Amino acid sequence: MEQQIKELERQAQKLETTAQDRKSLINQAADYGENFLSSLSEQPAYVDSESMGKGVYELPFDEKPTDFDQLLNVLKSEVDKPGLNPASGKHTGYIPGGGLYPSAIADYLAAVTNRYTGVFFSSPGAVRIENMCIRWMNDLIGYPDGASGNLTSGGSIANLIGLVVARDDSGIKAEDFNRAVIYTTRQVHHCVVKAVKFAGLREATLRTIPMDDHYRMKTDALEEQIKSDKDEGLIPLTIFASAGTTDLGAVDPLDKIGDIADRHNLWFHVDAAYGGFFLLTDHGKKVMKGIEKSDSATIDPHKGLFLPYGSGALLVKDGEKLYDSQHMSANYLQDTYKATEEASPADLSPELSKHFRGLRMWLPLQLFGVQPFRAALDEKLLLTRYFYDEIQQIEGIEVGPEPELSIAFFRYVPETGDANAFNKKLVDEIHSDGRVFLSSTHLNGMVYLRLAVLNFRTHLEDVDLILSVLKKKIQELGAL
Ligand SMILES: *Cc1c(COP(=O)(O)O)cnc(C)c1O
């Protein structure tokens, strides 16, 4: 048996790398990253390819190893080429993020050391780093001491946990779920609708409250609806407001909604996945006034803090409520319960083993300081205003309301013919050109294009390029 073990050990040893292997891997990876970043300004924002990355299947997993060189080539041609390029500053579709380089280094370090950040006992320092990130975001929202939270993979999971905490805090029983009511608007992110299902509240009523002409929740209508629901014996459960809707960038009147939630004793959640980090700016603070009245909030560092994908956060004003909803003990974890100075992420979320997500947020904030983030966010707000003013110089352009944050929407109305067909064609043309990327949406039966500025690499020259591409494409399509 010992001989057999030794033989297996010899084969398994290949999983460990030598110092020389590591040097060569990291150098090749660093070169790859460097080539990617140094050519980024020339790379298209979108590549509409025929093969759609099918080449990855040409290298199936095998018993035998494959060279890193060959794999990097596959990454280059099949992964980092086709489709959308979210690292590009010319990506202004959906909600951009970016991918700060120090976060990549943090991910590397987190993976090499593989600290276990589920429980405080196992990696106290790492958990402190995560809790520091959460405290910093709680301060940003304006939550008091005693607030808590969890670093999630993104805003969708944060919203889901938020809804579950609201459900649990209300104390309602499953037999009453069909009488529960959740208040939101039609512009709420669709992950909230999914969360309602995951939270077992499929039979609950999702009320979409009417919006004003800026696509913000009408608070009078909200309060009336809550009252009439109560009169009918329904159970108002939670208000899900948005601080920056994904589609249009609208911020619901949080201050007033907070008062209504208070008057009627409802859980008030703010989905600030997109807009939350604008709280670092004076403008954002004004627009999101009252956000501190909420009971919980979602905020996405992989959006407004420009981190690579994989970073969202749920923040909860009364940390006990998050803990009560999410914690569970297990016999085999009994040794870990003696370390209680700091909250353990596993007690505040459905996750146990997880990536050390805090490091990718902590490192850039430490290395750069907060100031450049604030400046970048102010820059994005101004770039959007600039675009909004400039696009109106093109004859035939019709714009949506003045942007509250960093999303502007508009459409071209041709003198003759179907405007929707024109704008669909316009967005297709922009995608097949690929130099810049914008996405489209529809609103009240009309197709709109939208510009969302949130990549930290988007600057004035990119917005000017977007304007000139738009002008050119409109001319070309109009001339047909
Ligand atoms: C992006 C977004 C979400 C979803 O977050 P993910 O990080 O993509 O899971 C939810 N709500 C709003 C307002 C968003 O912008």
Q: What is the pLDDT of residue 242?
A: 98
- Evaluate whether residue 233 is within a structural domain: yes
Nearest ligand 1 atom to the CA of 242 is 13
Question: What is the average per-residue pLDDT within 21-30?
Answer: 98
Higher pLDDT, 254 or 97: 254
**Is the Cα torsion angle 54, 29, 98, 140 positive or negative in sign?**
positive
Look at residue 478 in the predicted model and tell me its pLDDT.
Answer: 84
Do residues 375 and 272 both lie within one domain? no
What percentage of the chain exceeds 70 in pLDDT? 100
* Structure confidence at residue 480 (pLDDT): 59
pLDDT score at 97: 86
Out of 191, 254, 306, 450, give the residue to mutate to test ligand 1, the one with the largest number of ligand atoms within 8 Å of its CB: 191
Q: Are both 290 and 259 inside the same structural domain?
A: yes
In a domain, 205, yes or no: yes
pLDDT number for residue 132: 98
Pair 388, 344 in one domain: no
| Residues 165, 245 share a domain | yes
Task: Please name which of 91, 23, 155 lies closest in space to residue 438, comparing C-alpha atoms.
Answer: 91
Say if residue 399 is in the same domain as residue 339. Answer: no
Say yes or no to pLDDT of 468 above 90.
Answer: yes
Q: What average pLDDT does range 5-17 have in this prediction?
A: 97
CATH of the domain at 163: 3.40.640.10
Main-chain dihedrals φ then ψ at residue 296, nearest 5 degrees:
-155, 160
Indicate which atom in ligand 1 lies nearest the CA of residue 244. Answer: 13
Tens of pLDDT along 271-325? 999 999 999 999 999 999 999 999 999 999 999 999 999 999 999 999 999 999 9
Residue-wise pLDDT tens digits, 217-273: 999 999 999 999 999 999 999 999 999 999 999 999 999 999 999 999 999 999 999
CA 359 distance to own-chain centroid: 17
**One domain, residues 407 and 344:** no
Residues 347 and 376 in one domain: no
Q: What is the CATH number for 465?
A: 3.90.1150.10
Q: Are residues 358 and 452 in the same domain?
A: no
**Mean pLDDT along residues 37-52:** 94
State the closest ligand 1 atom to the C-alpha of 159, by its place in the atom list counted from 1: 10
Cα distances (angstroms) measured from residue 93 to each of 29, 406, 417: 28, 11, 26
When pLDDT is averaged across residues 96-111 and rounded to a whole number, the result is 96
Domain match, 260 and 357 both: yes
Amino acid sitting at position 24: S
* pLDDT greater than 80 at residue 37: yes
Which residue lies with its CA nearest to atom 6 of ligand 1? 155
- Ligand 1 center–CA 438 separation, angstroms: 18
SS3 for 471?
A: helix
Expressed in angstroms and rounded, the spacing between residue 450 Cα and the centre of ligand 1 is 17
CB 434 within 8 A of CB 77: no
Q: DSSP labels for 380-425?
A: HHHHHHHHHHHHTTSTTEEE-SPPSSSEEEEEE--SSS-HHHHHHH
Please check whether residues 336 and 227 belong to one and the same domain. Answer: yes
Asked whether residue 395 is assigned to any structural domain, the reply reads yes
Tokens read off for 460: 């004035």
- Of the three residues 302, 337, 368, the one that is the final residue of a domain is 368
Same domain assignment for residues 128 and 228: yes
What pTM was estimated for this model as a whole?
0.97
Q: How many domains does the chain have?
A: 2
pLDDT score at 166: 98
- What is the span of the domain harbouring residue 406? 371-479
Mean predicted lDDT score pLDDT of the chain:
97
Q: Of 6, 44, 93, which Cα lies nearest the Cα of 448?
A: 93
Name the band, by pLDDT with cuts 50, 70 and 90, for residue 450.
very high
From 156, 159, 184, give the residue whose CB has the most ligand 1 atoms within 8 Å, as the site to mutate: 156
Ligand 1 centroid vs 297 CA: distance in angstroms?
12
Would you say residue 81 has pLDDT above 90? Answer: yes
Residue 401 falls within a domain, yes or no? yes
Name which residue sits closest to atom 12 of ligand 1, judged by CA: 273
- How far does the centroid of ligand 1 lie from the alpha carbon of residue 275, in Å? 10
Q: Which helix (H) or strand (E) holds 102?
A: helix 101-113
Of 368, 386, 416, which marks where a domain is finished? 368
Q: Single out the residue in 368, 395, 422 at which a domain terminates.
A: 368
Let me know if residue 5 belongs to a domain: no
Segment 167-180, tens digit of pLDDT: 999 999 999 999 99
Question: Predicted confidence band at 50 (pLDDT cuts at 50, 70, 90)?
Answer: confident
Considering the domain architecture, whether residues 309 and 448 belong to the same structural domain is answered as: no
C-alpha 356 – ligand 1 centre gap (Å): 21
Distance 155 CA to ligand 1 centre (A): 5
Is residue 297 assigned to a domain? yes
Pocket of ligand 1 (CB under 6 A): 95, 154-156, 159, 189, 191, 242, 246, 271, 273-274, 300, 312
Residue 143 in any domain: the answer is: yes
pLDDT at 479 over 80: no
Asked if the structure places residue 167 within a domain, the reply is: yes
Report pLDDT digits (tens) over 365-402.
999 999 999 999 999 999 999 999 999 999 999 999 99
